[in-house]
Amino acid sequence: MDDLLLLHGTIVTVDAERRIIEDGAIAISGDRIVDIGSASDLEPRHQRKKIVDCRGKLIIPGLIDAHGHAGHALIRSIATDTNSLWMRIVTPMYYHYATRDYWYADGLVGGLERLRAGVTTGVSIISSMPRSDDPVFAINHAKAYGEIGLREIICVGPAGLPWPHRVTRWETGQPVRHDVTFEEMIEGAEATIEAINGSADGRINVFLTPFTIVPSLDPSNPTTPDLAVNLTENDRMQARRVRETARKWGVRIHSDAFAGQIRMAFQDKENALLGPDIHLQHCWGISHEEVDILAETGTYVTHAPPGRSTPILDMMSKGVPVAITTDGVSPSRHFDLLQTARLAQFTQHLLHNHDRYLLPPGKVFEMITIDAAKALGMDHEIGSLETGKKADIAIINMRQPHLVPNWMVVHRLVHQVLGSDVDTVIVDGKILMEAGKVLTTDVEQALEFGEREARAMADRAGLKAHMHDPGWGQISRTFREPVVPPAPPV
């Protein structure tokens, strides 16, 4: 690995002083930033390093996507026009028709999409709801990210109710049905942690992820107070076992939460899945009381726009740390975190608050860099460009019609820059993409592999006849009666 000197770029540091350095430079030795400042100061001090000319370019911290889904890259557009039924359509596909090769292919395709958009750290939940019955699923997905050179946090854990959960495995080439108990899901998650947590020179890590923090409530929508009353035995058992397992392995916890769940979880003072070692996605429709609980417990929240009724400004005003995520990539999302952040700002300005002074560009950019790093417990290593931190960097080509003139750079980042404007990506001091060319992976081969595996899963699920749908929703209509793919034969 060559030591690097990034020279003559405009640097957005996101450091404690929020410095922006014109005609700046960053010196990298090994996997760390060792010097940062003006080009005139650094160039004489680092003459033996390989120079990366950054004239006309913007140097930013690698972006951090703190919530997304493994598997979604290869099912995009399926059931996209039946939003209310989407989970009931795609979750059975993951649980009955995905193979070990599918997860490796999705890791390659999704990882490349994130790389090209300047996302250097991505959270990936295995399936639409976590699947941990076969540790190889997560291992294969992480293998793909490791080969590309990115950071990935793989999320595995117990699926939602009912338990046991019916799954189908294809290791023999034929479908084999199996009922997986809650404890078997925990065992699979532990096997994943043991196998890959801290692997790839520390770039791959594992979080423990139950589907939601209170499994007895609606897992995808707010629950009203008359229905969200008391924790059940299953609710308390899940919280206790997740807490025990996280302590045993020293890992963090990530989950979804919606209105009613936070207030109910807080009833279990000993094991509630709330606190500074946890980040919760969504939090749609939560009450003022639940915002106060998040603030009191120091729980992190991650938000994907439009987010329906997520009160992100109320949470932020109470001191709840909030980051922006893609929730990528299905049914119709993407891993372009800059465009997602722009949508988050837009929805707050025009749909919820009608005030353009709220959520200014600088804060929005923090929410996909340093704030996201804090949500992952990694802000001591990534999320800003500072001496001593990991050299995770995205370089943006500003010499383009929609980005000239190169001024008010934070505004430009949030308002106009696209993921496709990313020119060069560095992770752990290694150049993964340079001048738009991926250096670590054969892109065409990876995409062809992804195409084959996606079509093979669709074929297993009986969707082959619908893959050339001209856009009138044939696949979605197929699933209305019944709304889930049929289970494979035993």
Q: What does pTM read for this prediction?
A: 0.95
Average pLDDT in the chain: 93
Give residue-wise pLDDT tens across range 257-279. 999 999 999 999 999 999 999 99
- pLDDT of 483 higher than 50: no
Instruction: Look at residue 88 in the predicted model and tell me its pLDDT.
Output: 87
Query: How would you classify residue 368: left for phi > 0, otherwise alpha for psi between -120 and 50, otherwise beta?
Result: alpha
Residue 351, exposed/middle/buried by CB under 10 A (0-12, 13-18, 19+)? exposed
Instruction: Look at residue 472 in the predicted model and tell me its pLDDT.
Output: 45
> How far is it, in rounded angstroms, from Cα 145 to Cα 61?
19
126, 158 Cβ separation under 8 angstroms: no
- pLDDT of 478 higher than 50: no
CA angle 83, 85, 90 (to 5 degrees): 100
Instruction: Look at residue 466 in the predicted model and tell me its pLDDT.
Output: 60
**Mean pLDDT for the stretch of residues 420-448:** 98
Rounded to whole angstroms, what are the CA distances from 58 to 11, 43, 121, 222, 252? 6, 18, 19, 41, 33
> In which band, very low, low, confident or very high, does the pLDDT at 226 lie, cut at 50, 70 and 90?
very high
375 closest CA partner among 125, 193, 206, 123: 123
Residue 266, exposed/middle/buried by CB under 10 A (0-12, 13-18, 19+)? buried
- pLDDT of 476 higher than 60: no
> In which band, very low, low, confident or very high, does the pLDDT at 433 lie, cut at 50, 70 and 90?
very high
Give residue-wise pLDDT tens across range 191-210. 999 999 999 999 999 999 99
**Mean pLDDT for the stretch of residues 21-47:** 98
- pLDDT of 352 higher than 70: no
347 closest CA partner among 364, 332, 331, 334: 364
- pLDDT of 470 higher than 70: no
Give residue-wise pLDDT tens across range 366-385. 999 999 999 999 999 999 99
- pLDDT more than 90, % of the chain: 86
> Is pLDDT larger for residue 345 or for residue 467?
345
- pLDDT more than 70, % of the chain: 93
**Mean pLDDT for the stretch of residues 168-188:** 95
